[in-house]
Each structure stands twice: as C-alpha cells, then as structure tokens.
Amino acid sequence: MEILYLCFFAFLAGFIDSIVGGGGLIQTPAMLILLPQVPIASLLGTGKLAGISGTTAALLRYRRSVQIKWSNILPTAVAAFIFSFVGARTVSAIPTDMLRPVILVLLIGVAGYTFLRKDFGSFHAPRLSENKEKIYGVMVGLLIGFYDGFFGPGTGSFLIFIFIGLFGFNFLAASASAKVVNVATNLSALLYFAFTNQVLYQIGIPMAICNILGSTLGSRLAIQKGTGFIRVFFLIVVIAIIGKFAYDSFFKEFY
C-alpha cells in the first residue's frame, strides 16, 4: 500500500517541481513518513532517481516550446554538476541546521520582492551580454550546485529568481532554464548514491514513472498559461517553503 501513496506524492511533486521547483518538499517528507525503516541516504538516493526522471521530462517538454540558450546555460549546468558533488561530500563536515535561518531570510526576501514587483518576470528582456551571461552563469552554477548538494530545499525556486532578477528572463524562460541546471545537480547526486548502492530501484522506478507524469502535466500547463500563472504559483510555493523552514527552524523541537 505504501508504494501507491509514494507514487501519488511523486506525481504531485513532479507537477509542482516542473513549474516552479520545490517538489522535494513534498516527496522527501512523504518518503520519510511512509518508509521509516529505510536509511536516510537510501531515501535520498531513491528520491533523486524519481526527481531527475520528472525534471528531465519537464525539460524535454519546455525545449519544444521555449527557447533555451544552450550555449550559456550548459556551462552553468556543468559548474552546478561539479559543485553539487562537492556539496554532497561537505554535508558531514558542517551542520546543515545552521543554514536554516539564513535561507529562511533569503526566501522571505524573494517572496517579498516578487510580490511587490508586479512586473517581475513578466517580460523576457535579457540584460547581459553573451560573455557576461556565461561568466555569471558559471558563478550561479557553482553557488547553486553546492547548495543543492549540501542542503537542497528551494533550489529550483532560487534558480528561477536568479534567472529573472539577474539575467532578465521571464518566468517561463527562467523555469525552463532552471530545469537544465536541476537535471545536472540531480544527476551528480544520483551518481553518488548509485555508486554507493543507496538507491532502492524497486521503489524508485514506479515513483519515477509517476514523477514523469506529473512533470509532463505541470510543464504543459505552465506553457499554456504563461508567465502570469507561473508567477502566482511561484509565490504560493515559496510561501509554503518559508512555512516549512520556519517550522523546522523554530517550532519542530517543541513537538
């Protein structure tokens, strides 16, 4: 029976993640609750298998309808791939709990700025030259890649915000570009878990199929509805992430 629930949450995670990121905040807690006997590393590895499947499906869907500047995004993805692995190796050396208040403040800033700037992400007007896009992209890849490997929650939302605020993309182009980087970071982590035999394929494969279905539906809806829909969805997900971070940081220990 657990596998049916896991597949449902994988579908829901894929749907949300394909639009604005944040699917891991649904899928990972569901796995922790439904599979309490499974080691954390195996849960994360299995979740990465499902996650990368859905993200790849969403990317393929976006690629058919949204122009992605591959020459500039690929260096970002490569940097993110490398530093996601570095971040994963650093997890054991630094307590991740110390990051929660910092990330919480950043997310509140992201939500506030997006809400107050009504035109934020409405127009696609890249503001950087080709060379600057590549240089800044690599810097973003280093930072976001390390964060995703080290901690992870909210990676997709941070990417979308950066692609809009720094690069001048609209929400649709930012979401599509974020998927390229997400695939790279997920692949890096998945390879690590797979080579250390920490992926439960009998659970991960059905979840991956459902994640793909959710991602396909979500990306199709995002393309049809456009940037206005994604902006509202983005705000809802970021506020949900803020709530989760606030609970984990300040209230969880009292329950």
The answer for residues whose C-beta is within 8 angstroms of residue 216's C-beta and 6 or more apart is 18, 57, 58, 61
The rounded Cα 80 to chain-centroid distance in angstroms is 12
Residue 124 backbone class (left: φ over 0; alpha: ψ -120 to 50; beta: rest):
beta
pLDDT digits (tens, 9 = 90+) for 27-73: 888 888 899 888 888 888 899 999 999 999 999 999 999 989 899 89
Across residues 166-187, what is the average pLDDT? 93
For the chain, give every domain's residue range.
2-254
DSSP-assigned states of every residue in 93-113: TS-GGGGHHHHHHHHHHHHHH
Residue 94 has pLDDT above 70, yes or no: no
pLDDT digits (tens, 9 = 90+) for 6-20: 999 999 999 999 998
Using CA atoms, how far apart are residues 14 and 35, in angstroms rounded to an integer?
19
pLDDT digits (tens, 9 = 90+) for 218-252: 999 999 999 888 999 989 988 988 888 788 777 66
Residue 176 has pLDDT above 90, yes or no: yes
pLDDT at residue number 99: 66
Residue for token pair 């597949």: 7
Kindly report the average pLDDT of the chain as a whole number. Answer: 87
Query: In percent, how much of the chain has pLDDT > 90?
Result: 47
For residue 81, what pLDDT band results from cuts at 50, 70 and 90?
very high
Across residues 123-130, what is the average pLDDT? 86
Least reliable range by pLDDT among 97-111, 139-153, 159-173, 212-226: 97-111
Residue for token pair 């049809």: 224
pLDDT at residue number 251: 66
pLDDT at residue number 240: 86
For residue 97, what pLDDT band results from cuts at 50, 70 and 90?
low
Residue 50 backbone class (left: φ over 0; alpha: ψ -120 to 50; beta: rest):
alpha
Using CA atoms, how far apart are residues 108 and 130, in angstroms rounded to an integer?
31
